[in-house]
Amino acid sequence: MMAKNEKIKVPLQLVELEDENYHLLLETDMANGEKVKWIVDTGASKTVFDINMNGFFDECEDKLTQIESAGIGEGKIKTRAGYISDMKLGNFTYSKMPVALIDLSYVKKLYKKFADENIAGLFGSDFLVKHKAVIDFNKLILTLTM
């Protein structure tokens, strides 16, 4: 068990979707042992997960079910709320991580086409601020305070 306020270091992957169009990815282990990739997105206000990835999340009712997301693809996207159970991030197991559930098909197509990566979600500023994230671009390490 980790001590409160312990720092973890998570390796990052830098991908270039187009010339000088860089994005950071990280990998997590889901409860079933499957490894999935996430975009580290400091411009996203909420952490989101692909609603099409059944079996990885539980839906719940809260204020997120009433909002729509913009900026990911074309037009407005209906958003649902949920949480992911027992996801391993570095050496930390995150229980019941809250996420907005949206259709990430558009994002997944882009990353598959340009970087041959299958994206499960985006770590947004809600998660990054909560865990005092520090991104070291030189070493490609994300440091989080858990």
CB 31 within 8 A of CB 86: yes
Confidence class for position 75, pLDDT limits 50, 70, 90: low
CB 76 within 8 A of CB 68: yes
Going by C-alpha positions, the residue among 81, 22, 13, 15 that lies closest to residue 46 is 81
- Side-chain-facing half-sphere of 144: CA atoms under 13 Å: 23
- The neighbouring-strand residues paired with 18 are 21
How many domains does the chain fold into? 1
Confidence class for position 32, pLDDT limits 50, 70, 90: confident
Confidence class for position 56, pLDDT limits 50, 70, 90: confident
Domain holding 125, by residue range, is 7-145
CB 8 within 8 A of CB 143: yes
DSSP string, 48-82: EEETTSTTS-EEE-SGGGG-EE-SSSSS-EE-EEE
Answer yes or no: is 1 within a domain: no
Answer yes or no: is 2 within a domain: no
Confidence class for position 146, pLDDT limits 50, 70, 90: confident
Average pLDDT (31-45) is 93
Dist. CA 135–CA 133, nearest whole Å:
6
Confidence class for position 108, pLDDT limits 50, 70, 90: very high
* Lowest mean per-residue pLDDT among 39-43, 70-74, 125-129: 70-74
CB 122 within 8 A of CB 129: no
**CATH code (residue 72):** 2.40.70.10
